[in-house]
Structures are given as structure tokens and as C-alpha cells.
Structure 1
Amino acid sequence: LEKKIAHQDAIERNAIEGKFGEGKRKYGLGRISARLQTTSETVIALQFLVMNLEKVLRDTFLSFFQIWKALYLFVNRKKYTLIIEK
């Protein structure tokens, strides 16, 4: 039972640490040079906000593109129908 709990904790920790790693790699979380604690916390919060906004934008664009593609194929369905003659 303790092994399962430890394993589940490790899984959750890996996901969180992965996001911190991504923040350090792509968003400069490792280069914070603010001196005051409140300023550092604000910079970190803003960088995570940017990460979340980027994900929302990416998901929204993908959804928009998929809807646009479906509408395009629906409007032009006669061009793409397969005609089988017997």
C-alpha cells in the first residue's frame, strides 16, 4: 500500500516538475533576477499566466482550424465525393 502511494506521489510530482522544467527552458523561470520576494512571486505568477494563456490560445486555434476545415469540406463536398459507376 505504501508503495502504491509513493508511486502515485511520484507520478504527480513528475507532472509538476515537468511544468517547472518547461518554464525554465522556454519561459526563463531560471533567470529571475528580482530581489524582493513579492517581486519574484509576481514574476513567477506572470510567467505561469503566460504559459496558461499560450496553451489556451493553442487549443483555441486548433479548434478553430478543425471547424474551418470541416465547414470547407462540407461546402465543397461535391468536389470530394467518390463517384462509383457500375
Structure 2
Amino acid sequence: MERLVNQDASERNAVEGKFGEGKRKYGLDLIRARLQETSETVIALQFLIMNLGRKLRVLFFKFLQNTILSFDN
């Protein structure tokens, strides 16, 4: 039971951390939509952008790594 509680807390911390990142870096705290549906759509789009940004950073660093390694050979 203790293990399950710790696992739940760990997952909750990760999710809350992403919301904090969204507020700090992507302006999630600035959302002022009037309708709940609109707010949910804006939040979903912000998280999509966050995920795409991360994927692009990983892709860019892999590209740089491959480019640098090709110059070594």
C-alpha cells in the first residue's frame, strides 16, 4: 500500500511540474477564455506546443551530433 501511495505521489509531482513549467515558460497562467471548452482547447494546444518544442530540441541536438561526428571522420 505504501508503495502505491509513493508511486501516485511521484506521478502527481511530475504532472504538477509540467503545469508549473507551462505557467512559467508558456503563459498558461495568462489564459482568460470565457468558456470552459475554449479554456480546455487553449490548454491542450499549449501542451501540444510544449511537446513539439521538446521533440524539436531533441531532433536538433541529434542533427548537431551527427553533423559534428561526420566532420570527425
**Normalising to structure 1: TM-score of the pair?**
0.82
Which of these two proteins has the greater Rg computed from alpha carbons? 1
Gaps of 5+ in 2: none
Q: Distance in 1 between matches of 2:4 and 2:48?
A: 31
Q: Could you say what the CA RMSD is over the residues aligned between the two structures, in angstroms?
A: 0.7
1:42-84 CA distances to partner (integer Å, 9 max, x unpaired)?
Answer: 110110111011001100000000000110111xxxxxxxxxx
Higher helix share: 2
Matched, 1:54 2:34: no
Q: Which consecutive segments of 4 or more residues in structure 1 shift more than 3 A?
A: none
The structure whose RCO (Cα within 8 Å, separation 6+) is larger is: 2
Q: Distance in 1 between matches of 2:25 and 2:8?
A: 26
Corresponding pairs, count: 73
Q: Distance in 1 between matches of 2:6 and 2:52?
A: 31
Q: Percent identity at matched positions?
A: 60
